[in-house]
Amino acid sequence: MSLSILVASSDEHFRETVRDSMANAPNARLVAEYTEVASNLYIRVLQDLERHPDSGLIFDLASDAENGFKILEKIKQAVPDLYVIASNYHAEGETVIAALRAGANDFLTQPLRRLEFKDAIARFERAPKREHGSTQSRLGKVWTFLGVKGGVGATTLAVNFTSVLAQRKHSAVLLDLDWTASDCASQLGIQPQYTLIEVGENLERMDQALFEGYVSRDPVGFFMVGPPESLETQGYFSEPMFRDFSNFLVEKYEHIVIDAGRSIQNEVIFGALQVSSSIMLVMTQDFPAIRNAQRYLSYLMRLGFSQDQIRIVVNPAIPAAINRARPFVVDRQAAGELDTTFRRFVDKATGRQKDSAKSA
C-alpha cells in the first residue's frame, strides 16, 4: 500500500531534501507541500486529508520552533489521529519533548539523513492508520467553477449550484472573483451595496455579523459578494487577502462557491484553486471549448493539481434562465428536465447520494 506524505516547511532546501529522501522509500509518495507555515495551516491539511485520508505530515520546526509548536498543536486539535513527524536541527531532550507534547509522533534531526528518513517512514507505515471518515472536517468546502473560455456558463452553474445548496438548508456563500464580467449579481437581479473592496479593507476586524452586514443575501438563503460594478472602481484585493478571507469563510459556512471566470493565471484565482475541494472545469461541446479544456487541464496538472480535484462539466445552453435574472432551480416547473439533471449533478459533486445510501 502506498503511503501519502504531506510536508510543511518554508525552506525550499528542506522540501527538496524530503523529495530526494523519498526515493529511498518506494512505498511513499509526496502529495502536498505547504510553503507557508502559518496558524491557518490546519485548514489546508484538513482539505488534503479529505483527498488523501491515510496521509502523514512531515513538519519542519527549524525556522521558528516556538510558533511551530503552536501551529502543530492546532493541527492536532483539528485531526487528533494524524501521524506527524517533526523535524529540527536540535535534538536535545527539551526540543523533542516539546514536539511530542505539541502532538508529534516521531522526530527527525536536520540535516535529514536518508537512512533515518527511511526508518521514520517505516515506523509510520507500521503505525495504526486513521479510519476513513473518522475525522469529519469542521470546515466548509470550496467549489470553484472555472470556464475554459467566455460564454460556457461557469457563472450560471455557480449561481445555481449555490442555490440548490441553500434550498437544502446548507449555509452557503457565493463569491464572484471575475472582476471583468462580474455577472453573479446580474444573474441574481441584485445591486450590491458593498463589494470585495470593503471586505479587503476590513479583514482584520471581520466577524460573521460584520460580513453578513456587508454582503447581499439572496431570497433562497445564501450570501453573495463580488467585485464593484464599475470597471473604474477596481480597488485592491490581493491573493493574501483572498487567503485570509477564505480561511474566515470555511470556518463559518458549510459551502463556499466561487465563480472564477476564466482567468486561470490570475493570482487571486490561483489562490482560489489551491484551497478548492473541487475545481469544476466548465466547457461546452464546441471545438474551441474542447481545445481550451485540454489546455487548462494540462496546465492544472503541471501545477500539481490532481485528477481527484478536477471535474470536467459540460454545460448545456440556458439563456432563458439568465435573461430572467434568477437561478433556474428556483422555478423547478419551468426548468423541467434541466432542474432534475442539475440536481443530480449537485448530488454527485457533493456526495449526497453516497451519504443517503449510508444512512439508508
- Which pLDDT score is estimated for 6? 96
- Which pLDDT score is estimated for 38? 82
Q: Which residue has the cell 523519498?
A: 22
Threshold 0.85, pTM exceeds: no
pLDDT surpassing 60 at residue 132:
no
Given pLDDT bands bounded at 50, 70 and 90, which one contains residue 27? confident
- Which pLDDT score is estimated for 12? 95
- Sign of the alpha-carbon dihedral angle for 232, 238, 243, 247: negative
Mean of pLDDT values over 271-286 = 90
C-alpha separations of 213 from 210, 227, 295 in Å = 5, 16, 40
Greater model confidence, 334 or 149? 149
- Which pLDDT score is estimated for 265? 85
- The CATH-assigned architecture of domain 141-359 is 3-Layer(aba) Sandwich (3.40)
- Which pLDDT score is estimated for 233? 58
- Which pLDDT score is estimated for 139? 76
- Which pLDDT score is estimated for 315? 85
Given pLDDT bands bounded at 50, 70 and 90, which one contains residue 172? very high
pLDDT surpassing 60 at residue 184:
yes
Given pLDDT bands bounded at 50, 70 and 90, which one contains residue 358? very low
Instruction: Provide the β-strand partners of residue 106.
Output: 85
Q: What are 338-349's pLDDT values in tens digits?
A: 889 999 999 999
Mean of pLDDT values over 75-85 = 90
Query: Would you call 126 exposed, middle or buried from its count of C-beta atoms within 10 A (0-12, 13-18, 19+)?
Result: exposed
- Angle, helices 239-252 vs 41-51, to 10°: value is 70
- Which pLDDT score is estimated for 108? 95
Residue 41 and residue 93 in contact, taking contact as beta carbons nearer than 8 Å: no
Q: What are 186-235's pLDDT values in tens digits?
A: 999 998 989 999 999 999 999 999 999 889 999 999 999 999 887 765 56
Mean of pLDDT values over 107-128 = 93
Q: How many CB atoms lie within 10 A of CB 268?
A: 20
- Domain boundaries, given as residue ranges, for the chain: 3-126, 141-359
- Which pLDDT score is estimated for 93? 85
Q: Which CATH number fits the domain 3-126, given the four candidates 1.10.150.20, 3.30.470.10, 3.40.50.2300, 3.90.950.20?
A: 3.40.50.2300
Q: For residue 19, what are the contacts with CB-CB under 8 A and spacing of at least 6?
A: 30
Mean of pLDDT values over 348-355 = 74
Mean of pLDDT values over 272-282 = 90
pLDDT surpassing 90 at residue 98:
yes
Q: CA–CA separation, 3 vs 270, rounded Å?
A: 28
Greater model confidence, 43 or 282? 282
Q: Considering the chain, what percentage of its residues have pLDDT values greater than 70? A: 91
Q: Considering the chain, what percentage of its residues have pLDDT values greater than 90? A: 56
- Which pLDDT score is estimated for 356? 47
- Which pLDDT score is estimated for 355? 46
pLDDT surpassing 50 at residue 16:
yes
Mean of pLDDT values over 226-247 = 82
Q: What are 35-47's pLDDT values in tens digits?
A: 888 877 887 888 7
Q: CA–CA separation, 142 vs 186, rounded Å?
A: 22
Query: Would you call 341 exposed, middle or buried from its count of C-beta atoms within 10 A (0-12, 13-18, 19+)?
Result: exposed
Q: What are 58-76's pLDDT values in tens digits?
A: 999 998 999 999 999 989 8
Instruction: Provide the β-strand partners of residue 85.
Output: 58, 106
pLDDT surpassing 80 at residue 83:
yes
C-alpha separations of 279 from 57, 99, 276, 321 in Å = 24, 36, 6, 24
Residue 328 and residue 70 in contact, taking contact as beta carbons nearer than 8 Å: no
